[in-house]
């Protein structure tokens, strides 16, 4: 029996526990590669860093930061950086592992990594945020780099933060290294289409799922949890396809309009006020009632662990599009499957962001930049092709799309592991 890791204590509902349960489910489909599966149950490398910062008022504050490289059998690490007060090593480990699966599922030449800082960035001034980001980047500079591990934005991080990370790394190595992070501002080697890429991938996989179920997107009712980068971009595209955005929940509140919310006006409101609360074109709803909303498509695009068994029993949606990472607990996944609700899992549904990050990295290396149309055409092609392969696997074995995505991805990762062999 392999020894369990000493530095995390996962439970069935914790992020790492959820991930381990997902890996266990795929073992029967791995054939001879199953003997390598323990590789997936531990991160290759996990770095914990102290980030001391001088605050604007002269106090010294310390923040805890992480960078976890889960698996690098197929290429350099790739995955975002999250700033949130609830970030833990265990959460970052799970997020890094889901990146390994996601990158392999869409066949990008990357392993999986993720980073984070335990901080509420809304409590920091612009200058404090910059100092914290720069110190964090210097500390994890030991293990990141354009050929080693390439961070990107996640919850509460954005192109400005990526610009500071790129600049800090570049100062430390003495050369401008645009390829060290993705999700940068356009004029610093960023890619057109990156900001909306994750939401676009959610929409494209959702459109494919709807087509297979015979659900017309024109007039379909959509509910979205989280109206940040992913949720708002996906909502916009569903709106363009004629769907009605009937409910939105974010950290500030829950709003409903059975005739469809005005997406452009809501986006503007959120940009100005920071949340959906106070939007005039909607009724306010109790947070828990969000899970009872009459809708065809539900897009969880906020945080993990949102769909519990109790909520899964109440959902009206026919399709759940996991924009967020890890929004559905494993037992709730079973409940949804039993109820015939189709779940397009995070590890394929939200892979649009990392796919365009890959395009950004390639463009930075070649110093030749593509048009937004070229980006979107290539993105759609990769997402549709990957989903088809996953769907075929699901049909062949009679398994859910999540287990099928893990099967496709784990086979690719473990095949690479086997072909490379163990060092020394
Ligand atoms: P964001 O910071 O832009 O938005 C997060 C949204 O979640 C905000 O609307 C916020 O109000 C909401 N939220 C926070 N706490 C909440 C709570 N307790 N209840 C309801 N809503 C809450 O982040 P994002 O980039 O849109 O990421 C959202 C999710 O998508 C995360 O799980 C992230 O890991 C995942 N994801 C993001 C990308 C990307 O490219 N940005 C790629 C893949 C996956």
Nearest residue (CA) to ligand 1, atom 36: 324
Q: Which residues are annotated as a binding site for NAD(+)?
A: 198, 229
Query: In what side-by-side order are the strands of the sheet with 60-71?
Result: 45-54, 60-71, 112-118, 77-84, 149-153
Q: Which of 247, 285, 303, 357 to mutate to test the pocket of ligand 1 (most atoms within 8 A of CB)?
A: 303
Q: Output the pLDDT for position 78.
A: 98
Judge contact between 65 and 116, C-beta under 8 A. Answer: yes
Q: Output the pLDDT for position 1.
A: 78
Q: Output the pLDDT for position 42.
A: 97
Judge contact between 42 and 5, C-beta under 8 A. Answer: yes
**Spatial separation of the C-alpha atoms in residues 47 and 421, rounded to whole Å:** 25
Q: Ligand 1 within 6 A of 232 CB?
A: no
Q: Which of 102, 250, 346 to mutate to test the pocket of ligand 1 (most atoms within 8 A of CB)?
A: 250
Summarize the confidence of residues 315-333 as an average pLDDT: 95
Q: For 191-227, what is each residue's pLDDT tens digit?
A: 999 999 999 999 999 999 999 999 999 999 999 999 9
Q: Output the pLDDT for position 3.
A: 87
**Spatial separation of the C-alpha atoms in residues 374 and 369, rounded to whole Å:** 10
Q: Output the pLDDT for position 13.
A: 87
Q: Output the pLDDT for position 304.
A: 87
**Domains detected in the chain:** 39-176 (3.40.50.10860), 197-340 (3.40.50.720)
Nearest residue (CA) to ligand 1, atom 15: 251
| Cα dihedral 143, 149, 155, 159 sign | positive
Nearest residue (CA) to ligand 1, atom 41: 154
DSSP state of 155: T
First to last CA, the chain: 22
Question: HSE (CB half, 13 Å, CA atoms) of 118?
Answer: 16
Summarize the confidence of residues 229-244 as an average pLDDT: 97
Summarize the confidence of residues 350-357 as an average pLDDT: 98
Summarize the confidence of residues 26-55 as an average pLDDT: 97
Summarize the confidence of residues 375-387 as an average pLDDT: 98
Q: Which atom of ligand 1 is nearest to the CA of 156?
A: 2
Lowest mean pLDDT among 57-61, 92-96, 289-293, 328-332: 328-332
Mean pLDDT of the chain: 97
Q: Which atom of ligand 1 is nearest to the CA of 304?
A: 32
Catalytic residue among 114, 184, 196, 244: 114
Q: Which residues are annotated as a binding site for substrate?
A: 78, 102, 357
If phi > 0 it is left, if psi is from -120 to 50 it is alpha, else beta; for residue 410 that is alpha
Compute the C-alpha angle 36/40/44, nearest 5°.
110
Q: Ligand 1 within 6 A of 247 CB?
A: no
pTM of the complete model:
0.96
Query: In what side-by-side order are the strands of the sheet with 297-300?
Result: 283-285, 253-256, 244-250, 221-225, 297-300, 319-321, 342-344
388 counts as catalytic: no
Residue 305 vs residues 14, 43, 49, 324: alpha-carbon distances, Å: 8, 21, 26, 10
Ligand 1 centroid to residue 6 C-alpha, Å: 30
Whether 356 has a pLDDT exceeding 90, the answer reads: yes
Q: Output the pLDDT for position 344.
A: 98
- What token pair was written down for 350? 């939200």
Whether 2 has a pLDDT exceeding 90, the answer reads: no
Summarize the confidence of residues 125-136 as an average pLDDT: 98
DSSP three-state, residue 343 = strand
Pairing relation of β-strands 112-118 and 244-250? unpaired
Please name which of 302, 304, 336 lies closest in space to residue 319, comparing C-alpha atoms: 336
Produce one character per residue of 252-274: b if its CB has 16 or more CB atoms within 10 Å, e if not: ebbbbbeebbbbeebbebbeeee
Q: For 65-121, what is each residue's pLDDT tens digit?
A: 999 999 999 999 999 999 999 999 999 999 999 999 999 999 999 999 999 999 999
Q: Which of 229, 286, 348, 349 to mutate to test the pocket of ligand 1 (most atoms within 8 A of CB)?
A: 229
Q: Ligand 1 within 6 A of 383 CB?
A: no
- What token pair was written down for 260? 């469809």
């Amino acid at each position: 029996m392999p020894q369990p890791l000493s530095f995390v204590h996962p439970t069935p509902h914790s992020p790492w526990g959820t991930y381990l349960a997902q890996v266990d489910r795929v073992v029967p489909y791995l054939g001879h590669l199953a003997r390598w599966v323990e590789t997936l149950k531990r991160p290759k490398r996990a770095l914990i860093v102290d980030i001391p910062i001088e605050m604007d008022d002269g106090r010294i504050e310390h923040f805890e930061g992480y960078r976890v490289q889960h698996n690098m059998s197929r290429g350099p690490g790739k995955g975002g950086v999250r700033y949130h007060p609830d970030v833990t090593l265990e959460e970052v480990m799970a997020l890094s592992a889901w990146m390994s699966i996601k990158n392999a599922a869409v066949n990008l030449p990357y392993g999986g990594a993720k980073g984070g800082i335990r901080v509420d960035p809304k409590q920091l001034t612009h200058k404090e945020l910059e100092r914290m980001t720069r110190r964090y980047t210097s500390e994890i500079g030991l293990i990141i780099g354009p050929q080693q591990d390439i961070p990107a934005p996640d919850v509460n991080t954005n192109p400005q933060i990526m610009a500071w990370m790129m600049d800090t790394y570049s100062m430390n190595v003495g050369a401008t290294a645009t390829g060290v992070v993705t999700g940068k501002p356009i004029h610093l080697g960023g890619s057109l289409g990156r900001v909306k890429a994750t939401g676009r991938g959610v929409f494209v996989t959702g459109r494919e799922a709807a087509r297979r179920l015979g659900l017309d997107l024109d007039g379909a009712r959509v509910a979205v949890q989280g109206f940040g980068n992913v949720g708002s971009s996906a909502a916009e595209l569903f709106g363009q396809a004629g769907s009605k955005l009937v409910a939105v929940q974010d950290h500030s509140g829950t709003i409903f309009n059975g005739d469809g919310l005005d997406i452009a006006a809501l986006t503007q409101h959120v940009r100005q006020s920071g949340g959906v609360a106070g939007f005039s074109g909607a009724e306010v709803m109790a947070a828990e009632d969000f899970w009872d909303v009459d809708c065809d498509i539900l897009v969880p695009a906020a945080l993990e662990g949102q769909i519990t068994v109790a909520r899964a029993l109440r959902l009206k949606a026919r399709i759940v599009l996991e924009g967020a990472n890890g929004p559905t607990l494993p037992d709730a996944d079973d409940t949804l499957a039993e109820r015939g609700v189709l779940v397009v899992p995070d590890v394929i549904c939200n892979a649009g962001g990392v796919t365009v990050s890959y395009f950004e990295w390639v463009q930075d290396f070649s110093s030749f930049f593509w048009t937004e149309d070229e980006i979107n055409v290539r993105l759609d092609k990769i997402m549709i092709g990957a989903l088809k392969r996953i769907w075929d696997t699901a049909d062949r074995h009679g398994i859910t799309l999540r287990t099928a995505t893990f099967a496709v991805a784990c086979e690719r990762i473990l095949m690479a592991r086997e072909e490379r062999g163990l060092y020394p």
